[in-house]
Amino acid sequence: MNIFEKILARASGKREVTPGDIVEANIDMAMIHDLTGPLTLDSFKKIGASKVWDPNRIVIIFDHLIPASTIRAATHQKNLREFAREQGIRSLYDIGQGGVCHQVFHERGYARPGELIVGADSHTCTYGALGAFATGIGSTEMAAVFTTGKMWFKVPKVIKICVRGKLRKYTTPKDLILKIIGDLGEGGAIYKGLEFTGQTFKEMSIDGRLTVCNMVVEAGAKAGIVPPDNKTITYVRARTRGTFKPVLSDEGARYENVLEYDVTGFQPLVACPPTVDNVRPASELQNVSIDQVFIGSCTNGRMEDLRLAASILKGRRINEGVRMIISPASQEIYKECLREGLLRIFTEAGAVVTNATCGPCLGGHMGLLAPGEVCISTSNRNFVGRMGSPQSKVYLANPATAAASGVTGHITDPNELRRR
């Protein structure tokens, strides 16, 4: 069996499963945030259950609209706090304690190899970077999970993606996953699992693997997994008290397809609006002027990303007429930026550094776009109206490309940025 099948078999108490089987599985961990949580509570109340199945397996993270941007958001957050208290859910990350859910969840040790995780957010697939089967679900489905601890799954077919070669200085795991999504197409992996292997993944940092798995849903995939190795185990051990059992695909496991990539010579890429599979080299988009840069999100708001952006911004100023918003993905990362002097580099370059929040990524608050405006963003979606007005445009790129574009005022391959 492959890693996906093994996790689903274990979670549903079966010796073996095959693609297409429908299994009822026990959920190891479940996550909601301040935007999907309120509807979950509403459905939970309508179900009429009094207690959640296991308060220790539920994590609540406030990230989308924090600090509360409206009275309604504040009320939702208040209700979620009360719910956690009533139910004895201790893992609630309030304002100032956590940050973006898909950073906080694993940073605090809730994502463990071999486990089955559901989150009421489509980018829950991020935790596959740590060898978990993790996938997004809706709010009512989550209310059912809160009640029973179980959910039905169709065992997915799996595509194996083998990658070799070394990424160049300003070419990152973001560019690799953009390339893969561009090739698969927006719905190219619907219902499927993606397993990422090969030398490039072995050498890739945990931050990089998180970026890659974060975006598998943009090709429609149910989950993406990087087989756990020593790096994974070291990362997880340092963060969890729980025990865990990593699983790997068997020799001769079943795959629907095997794709091979060699990243040697890859260039920084940009996903052009309005779809994530509309991928072109940054160097071909120089004539696109920008109004706003957003560096952050569950895709590229981690330490490695911010260090990369800082390496471009150090000693430079962003172009007049461009606004740059930087949101570290978590409070921990924010503090690390403070220690390493990154906050200083960012503010001196002319950027606004926000608290750890989703904020502009979903067009929620703090930096929405006006009609006709253009943003280059390190996040994961460039759909019509994603970051504000339906007449605005979003280009997706890696943090070096985003920062370099902020300096020049138009989309810029960071390799072409000259000292000025």
Residue choice 5, 121, 218, 413 for contact with ligand SF4 (CB under 6 A): 121
Which of 358, 369, 397, 411 is in the footprint of ligand SF4 by CB under 6 A? Answer: 358
The binder of another protein chosen from 16, 20, 48, 230 (CB under 8 A): 48
63: tokens are 């990230």
Near another protein by CB under 8 A: residue from 191, 256, 341, 372: 191
Give the burial string for 87-111 (b: 16+ CB within 10 Å, else e). bebebbbebeebbbbbbbbbbbbbb
Q: Shortest gap between Cβ of 168 and another protein (angstroms)?
A: 31
The answer to whether 333 and 298 have CB atoms below 8 angstroms apart is: no
Compare residues 246 and 301 and give the one whose CB is closer to ligand SF4.
301
Whose CA is closest to 314, among 387, 410, 375, 404?
404
Among 9, 52, 120, 178, binds another protein (CB under 8 A): 120
Rounded distance, CA 377 to CA 5, Å?
A: 35
Question: Are the CB atoms for 298 and 327 separated by under 8 Å?
Answer: no
Q: Does 87 bind another protein (CB under 8 A)?
A: no
- If residue 209 lies in a helix (H) or strand (E), which one and from where to where? helix 206-214
Q: Sketch the per residue contact string, 262 through 301, with ligand SF4: x for CB under 6 A, - otherwise.
A: -----------------------------------xx---
- Closest residue to ligand SF4, judged by C-beta, is 358
Strands (E), 218-354: 223-225, 257-262, 269-271, 279-281, 292-295, 323-326, 352-353
In the bound state with ligand SF4, the residue whose beta carbon lies nearer, of 158 and 337, is 337
**Tokens standing for 68?**
């509360």
| Closer residue to ligand SF4 in complex, CB, 361/397 | 361
Round to whole Å and give the CA distance between 316 and 357: 25
Q: How far is the CB of 297 from ligand SF4 (least distance, A)?
A: 4
Token pair 């975006």: residue: 215
26 binds another protein (CB under 8 A): no
Site residues (CB under 8 A) for another protein?
A: 22, 35-36, 38-39, 42-43, 46-49, 64-65, 70, 72-73, 76, 120-122, 124, 136-141, 143-144, 147-148, 152, 186-187, 190-191, 220, 222, 275, 362-364, 368, 381, 383-386, 390
